[in-house]
Amino acid sequence: MIAQALSRSRERRVLPGFGLSLGISLTFVSLILLLPLTSLVGQLSQLSWSQYWFLITDPRLLASYAVTLFGAGVAALFNAAFGLLMAWVLVRYEFPGKRLVDALMDLPFALPTAVAGITLATLYSSNGWIGRLLEPLGISVSYTWIGIALAMAFTSIPFVVRTVQPVLEDLPAEVDEAAMTLGASDGHAFRRVILPYLWPALVTGTGLAFVRSLGEFGAVIFIAGGKPYETEITSLMVFVKLQEYDYAGASAVASIVLATSLALLLAINLWQGRFIKRLHGGRG
């Protein structure tokens, strides 16, 4: 049956180069993604289940999960709002310097995260430009969760902007106009018409930003300070364990980060697939 189905699909294929291109792609996926993952699993296999459980439920590590999740959550929510606004401004209005702002949106992707981290840490330290202003107000950013969330938000903002922007560009002006001719107020039109259009892209972008934030290291460690139980993020724990030559321990922690990220990415993909199917005529 399967062989038959395969041979039939082989006959129908018109585009050339399928075997070669898929072969090369899979080779690179294996070399770049799967091989390192395999060594991770190899390291993990030295541990028994109880050792593994003991390692990943270490109280200091549990605290780091909480700090990371909380920071990434705040950053993702902030980016959802700010990224949507940014995409809206970039698509809907014309203003001088628009191209420049548009290009700036990609900066966090291009900038080495460590550079971003050091810059943020300098700016927000108690005698930095911004930190100095915030200090009298009783707000300290460096070495607190605010700093962590800030650094995470900085590195992951392009995810939201760049996923929402093309969808917003595709939204025909007619749809807005239709809502207006039907008497809808601006708020009603935005909530009921525009937001639902952008929703899949917005959720995807926010999800990606969240996943990115979970694994962020370079940008966060300088501003977070890494106080155990308070501002220590999970990826820093991996680093700490590696410095202690505890490869098995590092792998155990890494496996948690990896599993969470993969599960989230898969969930986002599945959800998005279902949502989009409905818009394109599948039975929803």
Partner 1 sequence: MSIRISQIDKTYGRTRALEPIDLDIHDGELIGLLGPSGSGKTTLLRIVAGLEQADGGSIHFGDRDVTRVHVRDRRIGFVFQHYALFRHMSVFDNVAFGLTAMPRATRPSSGEIRSRVMQLLEMVRLQDFAQRFPAQLSGGQQQRVSLARALALKPDVLLLDEPFGALDAKVRQELRRWLRHLHEELHFTSLFVTHDQEEALELSDRVVVMSNGRVEQIATPDTLYRQPANQFVFEFLGDVNRLEGDVEDEVLTCGDARVAVPGVENGRQELLLRPHEIRLEDQPDTRAHLPVSVTAVVPVGAEVRLELEADWLGEPWLATIGHAEFERLDVKRGRRLFAKPSRLHRFDTPRPQTLAPLATS
Binding site for partner 1 (CB under 8 A): 172, 174-175, 177-185, 188-189, 192-193, 196-197, 199, 278-281, 284
Distance of closest approach, residue 194 Cβ to partner 1, in angstroms: 10
Of 142 and 204, CB closest to partner 1: 204
Contact 72, 220 (CB under 8 A): no
Please report, to the nearest 10 degrees, the dihedral formed by the alpha carbons of residues 73, 76, 82, 85 taken in order.
-130
Distance of closest approach, residue 276 Cβ to partner 1, in angstroms: 11
Cβ partners under 8 Å of residue 88, min gap 6: 168
Phi first, then psi, for residue 185 (nearest 5°) are -70, 165
Distance of closest approach, residue 91 Cβ to partner 1, in angstroms: 18
Question: What secondary structure does DSSP assign to 162-183, as a single string?
Answer: HHHHHHHHHS-HHHHHHHHHTT
Of 171 and 248, CB closest to partner 1: 171
Distance of closest approach, residue 265 Cβ to partner 1, in angstroms: 24
Of 82 and 197, CB closest to partner 1: 197
Of 69 and 171, CB closest to partner 1: 171
User: Distance of CA 31 to CAs 19, 25, 41, 158, 247, Å?
Assistant: 18, 10, 15, 28, 21
- For 43-80, letters b (16+ CB in 10 Å) and e give bbeebeeeebeebbeeeebebbbebbbebbebbbebbb
Cβ partners under 8 Å of residue 268, min gap 6: 203, 204, 207, 208
Of 12 and 280, CB closest to partner 1: 280
Distance of closest approach, residue 257 Cβ to partner 1, in angstroms: 35
Of 97 and 172, CB closest to partner 1: 172
Contact 105, 88 (CB under 8 A): no
Distance of closest approach, residue 273 Cβ to partner 1, in angstroms: 15
